Amino acid sequence: MGRALLIVDVQNDFTEGGALAVVGGDAVASAVSAFLSRRSEDYDVILASRDWHDADGDNGGHFHKEPDFIDSWPVHCVAGTDGAAYDPLLDTDAVTHHVHKGQGVPAYSMFEGRTESGETVGAILSEAGVAEVDVVGIATDHCVRASALDAIAHGVHVRILTDLIAGVAPDSSRAALAELAHAGAVLSDSRDA
């Protein structure tokens, strides 16, 4: 039975100084790198996702001049820009699969994305015989939540490493973690993983 690590959207636009900066984003990038330096051999596959939005158009209503910060957002993570790049504090050497999502459409879950060769996250996990995934990244209350819920729907055991995530807001992050726990995810500190 295989094991995977899902690293969700640790990108410049979601860390300090970015278009949609999340407080603690840089700390998550550093902490995930430290975790990988100690534990990357524990995983059969390590997938990292990035928002990779089209420069032209509104990406299916995802970009808006007057965003509601629920379904619409300011311009962020445009493909090929510095904002879409991984945070420089995230060491991606151990990543086995890089996933782009949100190309022309809204996408929160990494399961909605594809690798450059067209592979889906679900197919990668199935091919590797993955039965357990650990989820880390940004933002707890949006893309981490959506990715973890899709992993549960895919039929794998999900553990959220709560010291390796950061959310947009405390209340919505707590609600997301409660929802994930109710759906069957285990909430754990990476030191106990």
Active site residues: 9, 101, 143
CA dist 90 and 31 (Å) reads 8
- CA 175 remoteness from chain centre: 17
Q: Where are the alpha helices (DSSP H) in the chain?
A: 25-39, 121-127, 145-154, 170-183
Residues across the chain = 193
**60: number of Cβ within 10 Å:** 14
Rounded Cα distance, 190 and 162, in Å: 7
Angle among Cα 24, 27, 32 to the nearest 5 degrees reads 125
